[in-house]
Amino acid sequence: MASPQQLLAKPGLEACRISEPSEVQISAIPVLLSGRNAAIQSYTGSGKTLAYLLPILTLISRRQAEGSRAPGSRARGSKATDGPAAIVVAPSHELAMQIVRVAQSFFDPDQRRRVQQCIGGASTWRQQEALKEHRPWLVVGTPGRLAELSRAGALQTHHTGILVLDEADQLLAPQFSQDVGRLADHVGRGLAAGRQTVLVSATLNPTNLALAATWCRDPVPLLTGQGRTQVPEDDVIGESSSDVGHREATASPAPGWGWGRRAAAASPGSSAGGVGTGLGAPAPVLPPGLVHLVAGTAPHHAADTLRRGIHALDAQRALVFMNFQDRLRDVQGKLEARGMPAASLHGELSKQERQATLAAFTAGRFRALLVSDVAARGLDIPDCDAVFNLELPTDASHYAHRAGRTARAGRSGVVVSLVSGGQSYVVQRFGKRLGVDIQPVEFRHGVVERVREDQLAPPRKAAGGGPKAEGTGQAAPLALKATRKTAKKGYRSH
């Protein structure tokens, strides 16, 4: 593993293809290095994973060199344990394994066992043996398996100094509450000064923060998006001056290259969504570089409208969202029948089949990948150039999570919602909530054309029985293609 100086020094970051830190990394790294709790909200693909992994690995490396396993403070009267220095909790297998891969990339090959996955679906016995034999410094896993290993005594966490809840909004859901609650109760329990807790999500709101208040006391709110980074300049909200003084006295110094509390200038033409001035903001933030469209379709022609939309945008990797798993393969079959390579992710796939499907989609063998919200959570497909809502999300937060699958790491992307009947107003309500403009369009003769919103009625049926391509009234051409430009040099979406 690189030394603390190497991890955050310019040469070390450039070796990881990072020429300059992203907004969220600029704001989060100094705060986390200081040992304070934090609540990080930033759009999907903005670099949140590295925003917490870099300082955590730096702290672990520094404290390993100093001979102390536990970040924060010495235990209440016992010697150091074999437990990990930090635990990251993620709601899905895919997100957990993505975090593992990113963390392991900072270790030499013979040291990568210092990062251990503990996800459901894998062998519990092998995970127990790995925890015992390898004594990992960082453990990443899903709530159920981590809690199971904790109850069995295989995962010792009382002297673990850092707890990260990635996709914290989802981890606060009822199905995870018991397992996450156990982890929050046990991690850092044996440390006199307590643990450091980090909440991470694209959608954090006052309700979520209130639910997590017993797990993460007085976090520093870090909101990035809207063209600027918001970081408190002085005391942490709710912390006494003595608490701040203690933390600053024991804080690790921030590196000198590229990091610090400063506002990041907005990119020209940035379309990052989000309203408000802090974590109390009423809406999540969205990636800059996103174009939002809405197109009308008859329900029984939705699959064909989807196909024409993918062609009109020249999208090579389109992620298609639906609300019910049993409909995925039906739409997949309709696309394939019209000559469009497609695949779907659903719960009946084995782990190997799922990985193979994702690899094939990433390699460009399929132009459309049909998924549900659950199946897509945590997916990181940098070259996804378009997202289609074949069935509408339930609310603005779900819209933001779907939209964040494209326009990652400084790329451009397009989000298209297909509507029928009076659904257009629902999409426009999402746009108003998120602070973005959603343009009504139709797909005609292989191009995208702008129309008035009252022209979003389903296409008239053609004589041959298929959907008629002609629009209603005069349509203004819209010069738009799903762009596949290379990510900003050095920018990583992790």
**pLDDT tens track for 114-126:** 999 999 988 999 9
Q: Are residues 319 and 214 in the same domain?
A: no
Confidence of residue 66 (pLDDT cuts 50, 70, 90): confident
Name the phi and psi angles at 104, rounded to 5: -65, -25
Between CA 386 and CA 314 the distance in angstroms is 9
Q: Which residues make Cβ contacts (< 8 Å) with residue 37, sequence separation at least 6? A: 196, 197, 198, 216, 217, 218, 219, 220, 236
Confidence of residue 203 (pLDDT cuts 50, 70, 90): confident
Q: Are residues 174 and 227 in the same domain?
A: yes
Best-predicted range by mean pLDDT (113-127, 204-218, 259-273, 459-473):
113-127
Range 194-215 average pLDDT: 89
Between CA 72 and CA 190 the distance in angstroms is 11
- How many residues are recorded in the chain? 494
Q: Identify which of 376, 430, 440, 438 has the alpha carbon closest to the alpha carbon of residue 400.
A: 430
Range 97-116 average pLDDT: 92
Between CA 53 and CA 102 the distance in angstroms is 8
Helix (H, G, I), strand (E, B) or coil at 373: helix
pLDDT cut 90: percent of the chain above it: 47
Read off the pLDDT of residues 391-435 as tens digits, 9 standing for 90 and up: 999 988 889 889 988 887 778 899 999 999 888 999 999 999 888
Residue 235 falls inside a structural domain: yes
Cα dihedral angle (212, 205, 374, 422), rounded to 10 degrees?
Answer: 150
pLDDT cut 70: percent of the chain above it: 72
Is residue 77 over pLDDT 90? no
Between CA 127 and CA 104 the distance in angstroms is 17
pLDDT on residue 82: 64
Amino acid at 276: G
Q: Are residues 187 and 325 in the same domain?
A: no
**Which range has the worst mean pLDDT, 154-158, 343-347, 390-394?**
343-347
For 113: left if phi > 0, alpha if psi spans -120 to 50, otherwise beta; the answer is alpha
Q: Are residues 83 and 202 in the same domain?
A: yes
Q: Are residues 241 and 320 in the same domain?
A: no
Confidence of residue 44 (pLDDT cuts 50, 70, 90): confident
Name the phi and psi angles at 201, rounded to 5: -170, 165
Q: Are residues 330 and 232 in the same domain?
A: no
Residue 270 falls inside a structural domain: no
- Measured N-to-C along each axis, helices 124-134 and 143-151 cross at an angle, to the nearest 10 degrees, of 70
Residue 401 falls inside a structural domain: yes
Residue 256 falls inside a structural domain: no
Amino acid at 381: I
Q: Are residues 321 and 393 in the same domain?
A: yes
User: Side-chain half-sphere of 77: how many Cα atoms within 13 Å?
Assistant: 0
Residue 264 falls inside a structural domain: no
Confidence of residue 225 (pLDDT cuts 50, 70, 90): low
Q: Are residues 123 and 175 in the same domain?
A: yes
pLDDT on residue 37: 96
Helix (H, G, I), strand (E, B) or coil at 223: strand
Between CA 320 and CA 329 the distance in angstroms is 12
Is residue 440 over pLDDT 90? yes
β-bridge partners, 418: 295
Is residue 476 over pLDDT 80? no
pLDDT on residue 392: 95
User: Side-chain half-sphere of 138: how many Cα atoms within 13 Å?
Assistant: 31
- Of 195, 223, 249, the residue that ends a domain is 249
Q: Are residues 211 and 339 in the same domain?
A: no
Is residue 319 over pLDDT 90? yes
For β-strands 342-344 and 318-321, DSSP reports them as: unpaired
Is residue 213 over pLDDT 50? yes
Name the phi and psi angles at 222, rounded to 5: -120, 105
Domain containing 330 equals 290-477
Q: How many CB atoms lie within 10 A of CB 309?
A: 26
pLDDT on residue 81: 52
Q: Are residues 355 and 434 in the same domain?
A: yes
Q: Are residues 381 and 447 in the same domain?
A: yes
Helices (DSSP H) in 155-266: which residue ranges?
Answer: 168-171, 174-186, 206-211, 241-249
Confidence of residue 134 (pLDDT cuts 50, 70, 90): very high
Q: What is the CATH number of the domain that holds 363?
A: 3.40.50.300
The residue that leads in pLDDT, 203 or 430, is 430
Confidence of residue 18 (pLDDT cuts 50, 70, 90): low
Q: How many domains does the chain have?
A: 2
pLDDT on residue 271: 43
Q: Are residues 21 and 116 in the same domain?
A: yes
pLDDT on residue 397: 84
For β-strands 368-371 and 318-321, DSSP reports them as: parallel
pLDDT on residue 398: 86
Q: Which residues make Cβ contacts (< 8 Å) with residue 5, sequence separation at least 6? A: 12, 255
Is residue 183 over pLDDT 80? yes
The residue that leads in pLDDT, 151 or 18, is 151
Give me 147's structure tokens: 């809690």
**Which range has the worst mean pLDDT, 68-82, 92-106, 170-184, 188-202?**
68-82
Name the phi and psi angles at 22, rounded to 5: -80, 170
Range 238-243 average pLDDT: 38
The residue that leads in pLDDT, 87 or 381, is 87
Q: How far is CA 42 from CA 18, 82, 172, 197, 440, in A?
A: 18, 34, 18, 17, 27
pLDDT on residue 240: 38
Is residue 466 over pLDDT 50? no
Look over the chain and give the mean of its residue pLDDT values, rounded to a whole number.
78
Residue 484 falls inside a structural domain: no
Residue 142 falls inside a structural domain: yes
Residue 398 falls inside a structural domain: yes
Q: Which residues make Cβ contacts (< 8 Å) with residue 15, sequence separation at least 6? A: none
Cα four-point dihedral sign 369, 373, 376, 381: positive
CB 87 within 8 A of CB 146: yes
For β-strands 228-230 and 220-225, DSSP reports them as: antiparallel
CB 233 within 8 A of CB 28: no
Q: Which residues make Cβ contacts (< 8 Å) with residue 421, sequence separation at least 6? A: none
Between CA 320 and CA 402 the distance in angstroms is 9
